[in-house]
Amino acid sequence: MLLIDDSLLHSIEVTTEALRKRSDAHWIIAFSGGKDSSAALKIFLAAYRRAKIKLAKVTLIYCDTGVENPILDAYVKNFLRAAEHEFAALTLPISIVTLRAPVPDRFFVRIVGRGYPPPTNSFRWCTTGLRIKPVSEFIAKQNPDNTVVVLGLRQSESRQRDRALALSSNLYWQKQREGKGDYDLFLPIVELSVPEVWDAIFSLSLPKALNKSALETLYRGASGECPVIKAPTAPPCASGRFGCWTCTVVRKDKSARELIKSGHFHLEPFVKFRDWLAEFRNDPANRWHTRRNGSGGLGPFTINARKEILRRVDALEDSTRTTIIDAEERGVIASLWTMDNFSRLAFKRPSDLGSSKAPIGLVR
């Protein structure tokens, strides 16, 4: 049996006390698949076993952006499927809910449908819609007095976060304003260092569905941290980390390139597409010459440019045998193109729209 170090033991004890104190609450575990939320989940389950109590309700939530790094995406989805069976067999009162952004907010609907340029540091429109809003909206629907949200946040991850944590007398318990009121946040790994987080992953047994070696290999391959979705309060995704495979905020997707070097060659076409998209964004010929609000400056992609992006996505889907834009999203894209055709004609701006017909053939 592996030895558990003092800090980890302390986290389990504090979590055990928290569960005893709030056994009637609805506990919501925000899970991203990364090491921090995996460690938080493991500590939660270890504490639950120790507490020897019944919990009223526990929900594990995962936010699927639809453009996750394909390797992390497959790993997380396998885990969620296996965990569902494991929780049921162990009669653990945990339900799993996968959250997604509404169709109009999804990455390719915005880009191909509305012509949004792929995100940059100064125009990062994606983090809120894809990662933060679905979680915030789910939490906002719960009763704030009776909800505790478990987050895998650690001290010393960012100065901004440390300043916020320092305002509280108990690091483990924080408050978050969302929808109807203030919710309690519980942070089981707040005091743990990165090696202690890995200790938690390797030394605690539940859930067995969590493939710790696969997770470690992923991190080793990508040699980065994983921001994915952490919390409504989390900083935006940062460079050198797992995130969306489409992310053009970073100059180069280092983690994907490292994963390719470590043998995940099927990521190569995704990285090539991302690099192409970043260049395509910067060519003024592909953009309206006014913004949507009529002010000067590069605006959305022209309809021809959106068609070209869609053509490349289709080719990527064919070569990788994946679905990147699903039928529902294609339907919304078709309507958005029609709307843009009409509005451009109404404003009489020069355009390359060619036809005001709906883009027939998009929905497949």
Residues near ligand SF4 (CB under 6 A): 119, 124, 126-127, 130-131, 236-237, 243-244, 246-247, 249
Judged by beta carbon, residue 205 or residue 322, the one nearer ligand SF4 is 322
What is the DSSP code (8-state) at residue 351?
-
Q: What one-character-per-residue DSSP string does 72-138 give?
A: HHHHHHHHHHHHHHHHHHTT--EEEEEE---GGGSHHIIIIIT-PPPP-SS---HIIIIIIHHHHHH
Report d(CA 105, CA 263) in Å as an integer: 33
Report d(CA 39, CA 340) in Å as an integer: 46
Report the b/e string of 333-347 with b at 16+ CB within 10 A: bbebbeebbeebeee
In the bound complex, what is the minimum distance in angstroms from residue 281's beta carbon to ligand SF4? 12
Crossing angle for the helix pair 212-222 and 254-261, nearest 10 degrees? 110
In the bound complex, what is the minimum distance in angstroms from residue 183's beta carbon to ligand SF4? 23
Judged by beta carbon, residue 172 or residue 245, the one nearer ligand SF4 is 245
Nearest residue to 26 via CA among 253, 241, 183: 183
In the bound complex, what is the minimum distance in angstroms from residue 88's beta carbon to ligand SF4? 32
Judged by beta carbon, residue 26 or residue 254, the one nearer ligand SF4 is 254
In the bound complex, what is the minimum distance in angstroms from residue 120's beta carbon to ligand SF4? 9
In the bound complex, what is the minimum distance in angstroms from residue 34's beta carbon to ligand SF4? 12
Judged by beta carbon, residue 201 or residue 249, the one nearer ligand SF4 is 249
Judged by beta carbon, residue 118 or residue 152, the one nearer ligand SF4 is 118
In the bound complex, what is the minimum distance in angstroms from residue 158's beta carbon to ligand SF4? 15
Residue with structure tokens 């609805």?
26
In the bound complex, what is the minimum distance in angstroms from residue 190's beta carbon to ligand SF4? 23
Structure tokens that stand for 203 in this block = 């030394």
Judged by beta carbon, residue 127 or residue 302, the one nearer ligand SF4 is 127
Report the b/e string of 103-128 with b at 16+ CB within 10 A: eebbbbbbbbbbbbbbbeeeeeebbe
Phi, psi values for residue 66, rounded to 5° = 85, -10
Judged by beta carbon, residue 64 or residue 199, the one nearer ligand SF4 is 64
In the bound complex, what is the minimum distance in angstroms from residue 313's beta carbon to ligand SF4? 15
Phi, psi values for residue 130, rounded to 5° = -85, -35
Q: How far apart are the first and last CA of the chain?
A: 54
Which residue's C-beta sits nearest to ligand SF4?
Answer: 243
Judged by beta carbon, residue 244 or residue 325, the one nearer ligand SF4 is 244
H helix or E strand, kind and range, residue 21: helix 6-21
